Structure 1
Amino acid sequence: MTEVRIEPWREGDLDLLRRLNTPEVRAHTGGPETDEQVLARHERYVRFGDTGKGCMYAVLLPDGAAVGSVGYWEREWRGQQVYELGWAILPGHQGRGLATAAVRAAVAVVRDRRTLRWAHAYPSVDNAPSNAVCRKAGFTLLGETEFEYPPGHLMRSNDWRLDLAA
């Protein structure tokens, strides 16, 4: 099994976020952001862990190399509070099971919180690798849905759900 560790996002992770802001990585999430948007996202990520509503993490290899991000946050979905999970892995490290390992690590954190019953992920129906991550991480496919991401942009997504009480 592929090993990664996740560490809460910190000031020093700005370079990682910039390296994740490429057409290839962001093809299914609205495309690359401006540097101003990346800086604003970075500041949100740094502060997010202190809110109690979720956390963003850097995904690290055993040698400490940063290869991606994973996170969870609270959202309302179909009338109930759930956790949403999202992730991204640098192109040179994709296809090695790192995203699945990172999602499993984030799910373990969410389960330990014991606050909400369900976690969801909403990858684009066209994003085969992220849909495979959901399947391998134990999520159940509920079907297709329209999902707004980035804000103001509707995309066709799969709604994957994981029972955190199981």
Structure 2
Amino acid sequence: MTGESRQVRIEPWSRGDLDLLRQINSPEMKRHLGGPETEEQVVARHERYVRFGASGQGCMFRVVAVAEEVPVGSVGYWERDWRGERVYELGWSILSAYQGRGLATAALLAVVDVARARRTHRYAHAYPSVDNGASNAVCRKAGFALLGETEFEFPKGRLMRSNDWRLDLTGPDIS
């Protein structure tokens, strides 16, 4: 299960992606997400990502920049309960050196195609921090509808102010 655009290719997360996850775990990359994790937490997250695709509940992918043929980040979708409904949550990280080129939007659209093809849930949501202008712009560019601000727990045990962005996986989002 892979997706590709002219800019990126997404490939299921694999054992060889631990170093990529370590790069994503930098203070700069995690400033809107509660800060970097410990090495132990990163290794545990990596193991979850490797096993996750077989769970049937979602999948994590490495993002490969097609022009350079190098891994530049991660993107994924997973099931969650949100306001009484089962939905997909989407998340992404593009390494700082590759930001500003539209790769995050291309990766998000590629993972939306994968989630949409599952035909499991009507809606996909993303919850970037209200202070994360770049991630909120990615949601806007990808065609998500802004439903408003919400309190969101991430990481576990820490509440943050987030925007709730929604995309209708069955067609245009009418909000």
Question: Do the two structures share a fold, i.e. TM-score over 0.5?
Answer: yes
Could you list the runs of 5+ residues in structure 2 that have no partner in the other structure? Answer: none
Aligned mate of 1:163, from 138, 148, 168: 168
User: Match for 1:15 among 15, 19, 23?
Assistant: 19
Q: What's 1:75 paired with? A: 80
Distance 1:5 1:48 in 2: 19
Which residue is equivalent to 1:118? 123
| Counterpart secondary structure, 2:31 | coil
User: Of 22, 28, 40, which residue of structure 2 is paired with 1:24?
Assistant: 28
Counterpart secondary structure, 2:42: helix
Displacement, 1:64? Answer: 2.3
Instruction: State the Cα deviation string for residues 68-105 of structure 1 (Å, max 9, x = none).
Output: 00000000000000000000010100111000000000
Give, in whole Å, the separation in 2 of the partners of 1:91 and 1:160: 23
Tell me the residue number matched to 2:61. Answer: 57
- Counterpart of 1:140 in structure 2 is 145
- The reply to whether residue 107 of structure 1 matches residue 121 of structure 2 is no
Shift of 1:61: 1.1
Aligned residue in 2 for 1:96 = 101
| Partner AA of 1:135 in structure 2 | R
Aligned residues: 166
Residue 2 and residue 24 in structure 1: after superposition, are their counterparts in 2 closer, same or farther (change >3 A)? farther
Cα distance between partner residues in 1 of 2:160 and 2:6: 31
Q: Is the 8 A contact 1:49 1:56 kept in 2?
A: yes
Give the superposed CA RMSD.
Answer: 0.9
- 1:39 and 2:43 are equivalent in the alignment: yes
Find the residue that maps to 1:12 and give its secondary structure.
helix
Deviation at 1:2, TM superposition (A): 5.7
2:14 aligned partner, one-letter code: R
